[in-house]
Amino acid sequence: MNVAVRTRVASGATAGTPARWLRFLLDSWRQITLKQILVVSLIALLVDAWDVLAWLRMNLQAPWQARAWIVCDNAMIAMGMLLVVAVADRVVPKRWPWWTPYVAGALLGGLLVNLLVTWCFQYLIPLRSMMDAYAKPADLHRMHTLTEVVDGFVTGGVALFTYAWLRRLRLLQSRLHAVQQERVSARRHLAEARLQAMQGHVEPELLIDTLARIEELQGTDATRALHALDALIVYLRAAMPRGQATVPTLGGEMAFVRAYLDVLRNARGETITLQADLPPTAAAAAFPAMVLPCVIRNEVEGLAGRTAPEAALRVEADLAQACLRVRICAVTTDASDRDDDRIKALRVRLTTLYGERARFVRQRKVQGARCDVETLIEIPQ
């Protein structure tokens, strides 16, 4: 019961010329949708069945011509109802309730259609067998005409109001669904904006420590200082926000992780090995910004300040069945069960972005001084 075209009637439409109203009726008839035809036909079929059964109960010996007359009568009434529905669906009242066009259609359209149908079948069709079934005195004939009009008006009005109520219910459901979709989309855009804002955030401690370390290396090892400065420049370029027009990919996030680890190796002298197994299809797949770097940073930060820091990181990814699976395996000497606010925020934002379709699972296994941490991230594509 969706509306094909919704034309807002101007406030001065009542003063329009008959040609404009005729054009409006013709346009409404051309723009009748399949759903309108099906709904009105179903209602007309039910009304026709009820009318035939009720009439046959009172006229058991009626000929087949009279029964055909009833079917044709109701068919023409259904055509009139369809035109009324097409016009009422296009009219959007400004100062009146939404059901005003349907009431006007039931009063005017229903009355005119029933008068036209009754007059047409009783006076214009020269079938004597039909007229014999309705041969009555003049006063009874007028009463019969009035009864037909009232009967058609009542049945048509009930059918019209049923259609209007169902259509109104459908429109309200569509609006509610649209509002819910807009709210979900707004939350998703907000989560994406927060993740991109995290990308442009460079930790002050890391920047200050790296610059201080580069200054120290200038006097002792100029080559290493130059490498550390180059790594810092690459990291700062990777940390720059790419804008909303650029879709972040797993390969781009992996490049950011490599730049971050290069800064730690050259500036802080930390021993961190990274192995990445990314197929081309997985590297080009869309992946939310700053999810992978935050997980890597969470595993590496526990090593800061240790005497002999060492860590081994392995990132694996595969794209299958419209789902990107990223497995991060970290072998560190940090046995603390750390799940800080950064990881908790990632869980919340992944849920906001993808709902229950996304997974974020962390498992920690401690073996003496060694700690194995495995993080599984599943992102729908």
> Is the pLDDT assigned to residue 3 strictly greater than 50?
no
What is the per-residue pLDDT for 273? 82
Biggest alpha carbon distance in the chain? 125
What is the per-residue pLDDT for 128? 45
> Is the pLDDT assigned to residue 286 strictly greater than 80?
yes
> Is the pLDDT assigned to residue 234 strictly greater than 50?
yes
**268/3: higher pLDDT:** 268
What is the per-residue pLDDT for 14? 43
Size of the chain in residues: 381
What average pLDDT does range 344-355 have in this prediction? 82
Provide the H-helix boundaries in the chain.
18-30, 34-58, 64-90, 100-104, 110-119, 128-133, 138-199, 204-220, 222-239, 250-263, 280-283, 291-300, 341-354
Residues 314, 33: Cα–Cα separation, whole Å: 58
**100/124: higher pLDDT:** 100
> Is the pLDDT assigned to residue 11 strictly greater than 50?
no
Give the torsion sign (CA, 338, 339, 341, 346). positive
Token pair 């934002």: residue: 349
Top mean pLDDT of 57-66, 197-206, 303-312 is at 197-206
> Is the pLDDT assigned to residue 378 strictly greater than 80?
yes
Res. 373 pLDDT band, cuts 50 70 90: confident
What's the token pair of residue 38?
Answer: 């099906």
Residues 318, 321: Cα–Cα separation, whole Å: 10
Query: Would you call 366 helix, strand, or coil by DSSP?
Result: strand
> Is the pLDDT assigned to residue 288 strictly greater than 80?
yes
Residue 49: is it exposed, middle or buried by C-beta count within 10 angstroms (0-12/13-18/19+)?
Answer: exposed
Residues 97, 134: Cα–Cα separation, whole Å: 42
Res. 2 pLDDT band, cuts 50 70 90: very low
> Is the pLDDT assigned to residue 367 strictly greater than 50?
yes
What is the per-residue pLDDT for 307? 43
Residues 88, 98: Cα–Cα separation, whole Å: 10
> Is the pLDDT assigned to residue 171 strictly greater than 70?
yes
C-alpha distance from residue 46 to each of 96, 161, 277 (Å): 31, 15, 66
What structural domains and CATH numbers belong to the chain? 13-189 (no CATH), 200-380 (3.30.565.10)
The per-residue b/e assignment along 300-321, b for 16 or more CB within 10 angstroms, e otherwise, is: bebbeeeeebebebebbbebee
> Is the pLDDT assigned to residue 303 strictly greater than 70?
no
Token pair 């509306």: residue: 3
DSSP 17-83: -HHHHHHHHHHHHHT--HHHHHHHHHHHHHHHHHHHHHHHHH-TT--HHHHHHHHHHHHHHHHHHHH
Res. 335 pLDDT band, cuts 50 70 90: low
pLDDT tens, 39-89? 766 766 676 666 666 665 555 555 666 666 666 666 667 777 777 777 777
What is the per-residue pLDDT for 133? 47
What is this structure's pTM? 0.52
pLDDT tens, 113-148? 666 766 666 655 544 444 444 444 455 455 555 666
What is the per-residue pLDDT for 230? 87
